[in-house]
Amino acid sequence: MKRALRVIYGVVISILVLIVVWVCWSLLSHRMPWQKHWKTGHQLTVVTYNTNGMLVDKKLEDKLAMLDYVKKLDADIVCLQEVLVYKNPNRFTLPDLREAMREYPYTYYDFKVYNSRRQFGNVVFSRYPLINKQTIRYESQSNISSQCDVVVGQDTLRLVVNHLESFRLNNSDFSLDSLTANTLRESSLNRKLTYASRLRRQQAYSVRKAIHHSPYPVIAVGDFNAIPLSAVYWIMNMGLRDCYAESSVGRYGSTYERKRIHVRIDYIFTSRALKPLACRVGKERYSDHYPVIATIGW
């Protein structure tokens, strides 16, 4: 009997050790991934960057400095999220944005918020023609996913730009007073987390459906508001490559930093037919996000 118990105990310990090793490997491989070396004939450099409402509370000089930084990354395609422009000529306008990024001849503006006062959504700047532009429809007040096709010589790639549901947290959500006055289950913080998580999963499935029906290899980028161990990440990563995880060595992968929060929530994914040649996270501090820059080959 004692021998049987020792055997069972050993099996349980072995299973627990394997689970711990698997979890640790998952964490390490996404934070400090191993580099692969690919041989390709063509390549394209892509940037994805959440601009925090085009630095919504900052001066015009700060906005232009951020865009100058983006241009210095020398990408073939620049994908921006949370682009906020106004109709008032005394504020930052769409013509201001066009002028600042005039080096890119091809553009795609897809605004979720569009009214007489302002526009807010995704913008793509490209050195290559963009065709078949359309919105991926799903439930959200201000978040959006957009797709278009990029014509590179004789090849066509489908670009999918995403800004999935935000938690919309503010400082009051973390105050001790609000959490002691209510149970966590009834708190504003819990309601926001639950609501955003549900919407984000639904949005991720809508994006995956669009990717599944693409006749071309896909590059899916953006702010997914989800860490690598989340359900949304695994929904998106099924059958795709995570460029950072497959082509960056020894670099901390945080793309969003606020106070003590340091997480990777911005990604560049590709179809298996495409090869991540290099990927890094920029570290110039303009937005609350950092840009992700990937060179992709095929």
**188-203, pLDDT tens digit by residue?**
556 666 778 899 999 9
| Position 187 pLDDT exceeds 60 | no
What value does the mean pLDDT of the chain take?
A: 87
DSSP state letter for 115: S
Question: Is the confidence at residue 12, as pLDDT, over 60?
Answer: no
How large is the average pLDDT for residues 52-77? 97
Tell me the pLDDT tens digit for each residue of 122-133: 999 999 999 999
165: tokens are: 């549901």
Q: Classify strands 43-50 and 77-86 as parallel, antiparallel or unpaired.
A: parallel
Cβ-based neighbour number of residue 27 at 10 Å: 13
Q: Which two tokens stand for residue 237?
A: 């990563």
Alpha helices by DSSP H, the chain: 2-31, 52-55, 60-72, 94-100, 176-181, 188-212, 231-237, 243-247
* Predicted confidence band of residue 2 (pLDDT cuts 50, 70, 90): low
**And the tokens for 101?**
């990024």
User: In this predicted model, what pLDDT tens digit does every residue of 28-61 receive, in sequence order?
Assistant: 554 455 555 666 789 999 999 999 999 999 999 9
With CA atoms as reference, report the closest residue to 219 among 163, 292, 268. Answer: 268
Question: What are the residue boundaries of the structural domains of the chain, listed by start?
Answer: 1-31, 32-297
SS3 content of the chain, % helix, strand, coil (to 5): 35, 35, 35
For the chain, how long is the longest CA-to-CA vector? 83
**121/253: higher pLDDT:** 121
The share of the chain scoring above pLDDT 70, in percent, equals 77
Question: Per residue in 222-247, pLDDT tens?
Answer: 999 999 999 999 999 999 999 999 99
Q: What was the pLDDT predicted at 31?
A: 47
CB count within 10 Å of CB 204 equals 24
Residue 41 has a pLDDT of: 84
- 3-state SS assignment for residue 267: strand
- Residue 110 in this model has a pLDDT that exceeds 90: yes
Asked if residues 123 and 107 have their Cβ atoms less than 8 Å apart, the reply is yes
Backbone angles phi, psi at 128, to 5 degrees: -120, 155
- Residue 4 half-sphere exposure toward CB, CA atoms < 13 A: 1
pLDDT at 113 over 70: yes
From the centroid of its chain, how far is CA 11? 40
User: If you average pLDDT over residues 139-168, what whole number do you get?
Assistant: 95
32: tokens are 């400090």
Please tell me the CATH code under which domain 32-297 is placed.
3.60.10.10
